[in-house]
Amino acid sequence: MSIFDTYGLSPSFRAEHRLLDHGSDLASSGVEIADAIDLLAPRPCGLPLIRLGGAMDGGYLIPDDLNDIDACFSPGTNNFKRFEDELYQRWGIRSFMCDFSSDIEHFVTPLIEGAQFFEKKWLDVYGGEDALDLNTWVAANAAPGRDLILQMDIEGAEYRNLIHATAETLIRFRIIVLEIHDLQNLRRHDYLYGVFRAALDKLNKTHVSVHAHANNACGEVQFFPGLAAPMAVEVTFLRRDRVKSYEQVITIPNRLDQLNVHREAPIGLAGPWSRYADATGSRLAALEQSVNWLAARVRSLNEYNHFLTRNFSPRSENLALKAAVSQSSLSPYSTADGARGGANGKRTGGFGFHTDTEDGPWWLADLGRSHRLEACLVFNRMDGASVRARTLQVWTSLDNATWKLAYAHDGRPIFGGIYEHDGMPPLLVDLRGTSARYEKLQLAENTALHLDEIEIYGHEDA
């Protein structure tokens, strides 16, 4: 299979867009690869960068230049739209989303009526009832003359869609966020010139890279000493007329960058990637990111291992097994025993209970009387949608009226369950020194709460 077949560039498409076959037997030189990376290397733009979409995978850095933008177009949403949620909540920006592999009922947060629109279709250039064309999609939904945002993660199809987009469509996007795939193929002439540069040269006529972040879930490739690339990179482009200054000092990584997955070490962007950044500041920022990653892994694993080996009070037991348990709502996915499935002594890796999608869904254990608590151990579901636990809070109460916040998970890596999630074990909440009759687990957003098993360790107050 040729490189053009791999990226869906049919002979007719190549002829229409005058794409030449440079030969798969030709290897790219270091200079050619470095020149290609230069199209992605972040430049100063005179605007601060802000993070939208949360601290995990699905969050992106974009310039703080969002006033008067009409809409965001997001092909490749999967089931996550935190980026689009924040656009509407903070700036009133509508979003149009598509992904044939997604379903509305599986979204982590529900669609915002009148502001978010989803079509179960691919973004593609060849038409068909299951596909949208970027040019016609934008023309049908965007207000005339208004600026837009494009946020696209479509697993290699970004190339043919960028090549196919008209200049009139691309210029409408003030900000473009792309996940660019398969950079290991830059060593091949046919990919470098027939695919990568065909798309990126076109985009760079009107836009300039202002941020790049290596996706550490995909690995990296070393081309030559001092010349490397991640296999996938998230790049933010700003339309050139919106650039305020090229004199700004930037570092790579940015202090707001977060890892896509926590089981893998950060991937640095050095050499040509940092050509327009402060060299010393970038080296220090990369070192700090690596140290923080290692410290977080050691801390989480040590806490969990300590829990497994610590000496509890002789009377300590898993109180959840005997507690009266309830949940805020039932869903079509709820098990027959409802909330009891979250404290039945069975760790399966699936979900033991499942609420409906709502604001602040909760699961509650009534221990019957006041107990001296020691710890809460929470096993996430591992068969999908573990990320829904990202805003988990643990509350305790003596009377079911006045509550004390014992733990909030905001901004931390998603925790695991019967096996690790991105290197993270189950969630351990230290409750030593707490007396309570009630314990409640709740999410701080509009979504569904579903967990595998909840274990509450302690004993009756003396």
Global pTM reads 0.80
Domains and CATH numbers, the chain: 3-295 (no CATH), 317-460 (2.60.120.260)
Is the pLDDT at 18 greater than 90? The verdict is no
35-40, long-range: CB < 8 A, 24+ apart? 36/186, 36/192, 36/196, 36/197, 36/200, 37/186, 37/229, 37/271, 37/272, 37/273, 38/272, 38/275, 39/197, 39/200, 39/201, 39/204, 39/209, 40/180, 40/200, 40/209, 40/212, 40/233, 40/235, 40/273
**CA distance readout (Å), 453 to 26, 222, 307, 347:** 55, 43, 16, 6
Burial class (CB in 10 A: 0-12, 13-18, 19+), 121: middle
174-178, 382-386, 414-418, 458-462: which is most confident? 174-178
Q: Is the pLDDT of residue 312 over 70?
A: no
What's the mean pLDDT in 27-47?
Answer: 96
In the predicted model, what is the mean pLDDT of residues 203-222?
A: 96
d(CA 442, CA 323): 17
- Mean pLDDT score, 86-91: 96
Cβ pair 292, 265 in contact under 8 A: no
Q: What is the pLDDT of residue 307?
A: 61
d(C-alpha 302, C-alpha 427), whole Å? 12
User: For residue 128, is pLDDT > 90?
Assistant: no
Q: Specify the range with the lowest mean pLDDT, choosing from 17-26, 207-216, 245-254, 392-401.
A: 17-26
Residue percentage of the chain with pLDDT more than 90 = 74
The pLDDT value recorded for residue 300 is: 67
Range of lowest pLDDT (73-77, 358-362, 382-386): 382-386
Residue whose C-alpha is closest to residue 277's, from 267, 264, 268: 268
pLDDT at 309 over 60: no
pLDDT at 367 over 70: yes
Using the predicted structure, report yes or no on whether residue 297 has a pLDDT greater than 80: no
Which pLDDT band, with edges at 50, 70 and 90, does 311 fall under? low
pLDDT of 24 reads 65
